[in-house]
Amino acid sequence: MATFLRRNPFLCRLRYIVSDFTFLSPSGCLIGAVNLKSSNRTPVVQEFESVELSCIITDSQTSDPRIEWKKIQDEQTTYVFFDNKIQGDLAGRAEILGKTSLKIWNVTRRDSALYRCEVVARNDRKEIDEIVIELTVQVKPVTPVCRVPKAVPVGKMATLHCQESEGHPRPHYSWYRNDVPLPTDSRANPRFRNSSFHLNSETGTLVFTAVHKDDSGQYYCIASNDAGSARCEEQEMEVYDLNIGGIIGGVLVVLAVLALITLGICCAYRRGYFINNKQDGESYKNPGKPDGVNYIRTDEEGDFRHKSSFVI
């Protein structure tokens, strides 16, 4: 073919016009350029399965080009295949297929990343070409953790929570009451006109602004993504009426008991049960005087003396 082109310069120039990957040499002859393609640039695979990252050389004049694979994740670039060896965390569970493609066994969620296939062909006019493949590893959600209040009074706010941390991509959440799916907004469905709630399908939070008696029932949540779904166990939420009469009666009973206690304390004070008698010591120091006897104390005498005699 090359001899035919050299003998037909017109065809040689024509191929240069219609091809983006071939060039004319100074003598008017064609020299190839390395070119890559992939059968699937966005492969999706379940966790623990195998996947092939397709990288195919379509045009090159170099019989033994240099092949490199790199992994781009979290803004960091690391080698996957370099110097004819598998590198990094893929060592022992990956291999090169058909000279350039990369096959990975037992993929995990940590393998989700961008992979760049780079080829260097020294004998080609255009020596370098690369192709980027985005690998997505899907992980089925595990059983979510659900929190449902057991009892809520009518008219009060209630919040139900549903969380799952293993699924990839991040799962979406849906809530069910008595096996009936709940819409994201109660106002969007006439069936729930007596309810007032909002469901955030990304966070799994179901919020009732004011619960109604019809909101009582068995609740459960389902977390789902492209890999599968999982649900939590049913939990009952009871909505009860407030007994206003009972509350008022209880308050009156408490007030009556407090009034009786206060009245008892006042009566005890009046009867002297709480008065401390401090006169016992003074009565002992100053004994009473017998009738008919008057004691006086003089400056010269150090003790008492009679002022008058006993009368017999």
pTM for this structure? 0.60
Quote the mean pLDDT of the chain: 82
The token pair at 111 is: 């393998």
* 5-48 confidence digits (pLDDT tens): 334 443 333 333 333 444 444 434 335 688 999 999 999 999 99
Cβ count near 149 (within 10 Å): 18
Alpha carbons 300 and 280: distance in angstroms, whole number: 32
Alpha carbons 60 and 215: distance in angstroms, whole number: 69
Residue 272 confidence (pLDDT): 72
Q: Pick from 57, 45, 20, 51: which is nearest to 131 by CA?
A: 57
- DSSP class of residue 194 equals T
Choose the most confident range, by mean pLDDT, from 10-24, 243-257, 288-302: 243-257
In this prediction, residue 170 has a pLDDT band, given cuts at 50, 70 and 90, of: very high
Half-sphere exposure of 191 (CA within 13 A, CB side): 7
Q: Which residue has the higher pLDDT, 259 or 38?
A: 38
Alpha carbons 38 and 295: distance in angstroms, whole number: 133
Using alpha carbons only, give the angle 138, 93, 60 rounded to the nearest 5 degrees: 95
Cβ count near 61 (within 10 Å): 16
Q: Which residue has the higher pLDDT, 153 or 17?
A: 153
For the cut 50, the answer to whether the pLDDT of residue 312 exceeds it is no
What Cα–Cα distance (Å) separates residue 140 from each residue in 45, 165, 189?
A: 11, 11, 30
User: Largest alpha-carbon pair distance within the chain?
Assistant: 178
Mean pLDDT of 273-297: 53
**All domains of the chain in start order, with CATH:** 35-138 (2.60.40.10), 145-240 (2.60.40.10)
Residue 82 confidence (pLDDT): 95
Alpha carbons 306 and 6: distance in angstroms, whole number: 166
Cβ count near 45 (within 10 Å): 18
What Cα–Cα distance (Å) separates residue 238 from each residue in 140, 153, 214, 233?
A: 32, 8, 10, 16
Residue 244 confidence (pLDDT): 64
Alpha carbons 55 and 46: distance in angstroms, whole number: 21
Residue 12 confidence (pLDDT): 37
Neighbouring-strand partners of residue 257: none
